[in-house]
Amino acid sequence: MEQLLVFDVDGTLTGPRRVMHEDFARFFRTVCVSRRVFLVSGSDMAKLAQQLPEFVLEAVAGVFACAGNEFLVAGQAVYRMEHFFPGELTGFVDEFIAASPYPVRCGHHQELRTGTLNVSVVGRNADPVQRAAYFEYDREHGERQALIEAVMDRFPGYEANRGGQISVDISPRGWNKARVCQELSQRFAGAQLVFFGDNIEKGGNDQPLAEAIVAAGEHNRVHPVADHYETWQILQEEYGSAPIPVSATG
């Protein structure tokens, strides 16, 4: 049975919004040579290219960007799901951000991606320290969960999930990472799907895909990981002894 490996990026292959560890990237490429590997990210390709070396992006079989609303093979779009987000929704989000008691605003609070509106109270311009501070605040106060519930309550045609460390992804209902499971199940009927994600718990942006993968076949597997070091460790244990093909060295 063919095995397809599917990886979230932020927090699973890299630190949050960080560049992939060089040694891990080299090892990861060898994994990509021996089987089909797909990446799934809330980010767009421009951001992914900042985090992952080109040789990794070239080695994978495909990339699902913008929470699966864009699918690229060898850099070419296979599909792209566009959506127009109404001003009523973006205005509602603006009001939520303005009303938040969190004291820090770093700018760039709403980002439109293919099929997804990415929203952050602290703002996407936050540096790693500001991100970590907001992440802690959110863990204590559940602000992102409150935003998720407020959006889904007010706009039933939309769904929202926690994305990464500081943001919430809003999409038309059903437009989430779970699409990746449908796509791969259709393209590679009968293959085993193995998914690695750091945000698989309730409300996390990996949860819809993890659930879909488990439901799609009992031979499928999901690895919830704490960070990229755990992913690295699991891959080393499972695939580390595989001989490194000549084409993957150097």
Look at phi and psi of residue 238 and say left if phi exceeds 0, alpha if psi is from -120 to 50, else beta: alpha
Cβ closer to Mg ion: 143 or 198? 198
Q: In Å, what is the CA distance from 65 to each residue of 11, 72, 137?
A: 15, 8, 28
Residues in contact with 83: Cβ distance below 8 Å, sequence separation at least 6, in sequence order: 69, 115, 171, 172, 175
Which residues inside 172-201 make contact with Mg ion, applying CB under 5 A?
Answer: 198-199
Q: Which is nearer to Mg ion, 171 or 199 (CB)?
A: 199
Distance CA 171, CA 159 (A): 6
Query: What tokens appear for 146 in the block?
Result: 């409150």
For Mg ion, the nearest residue by Cβ is 11
Shortest Cβ 42–Mg ion spacing (Å): 8
Decide if residue 169 touches Mg ion (CB under 5 A): no
Stretch in the footprint of Mg ion (CB under 5 A) among 3-11, 18-26, 27-35, 137-145: 3-11
Applying CB under 5 A, does 208 fall inside the site for Mg ion? Answer: no
Tokens of 90: 């973006």
Q: Does 163 bind Mg ion (CB under 5 A)?
A: no
Q: Judged by CB under 5 A, how many residues of this single chain contact Mg ion? A: 5
Q: Which amino acid is at 34?
A: S
Pick from 4, 5, 8, 228 the residue near Mg ion by CB under 5 A: 8
**DSSP 8-state assignment for residue 83:** -
Minimal distance, residue 203 CB to Mg ion, in Å: 13
CB of 128 to Mg ion, least distance (A): 15
Compute the distance between CA of residue 228 and CA of residue 21 in angstroms, rounded to an integer.
Answer: 9
11 near Mg ion, rule: CB under 5 A: yes
Spatial distance between the Cα atoms of 190 and 91, rounded to a whole number of angstroms: 44
CB of 127 to Mg ion, least distance (A): 19
Interface positions with Mg ion (CB under 5 A): 8, 10-11, 198-199
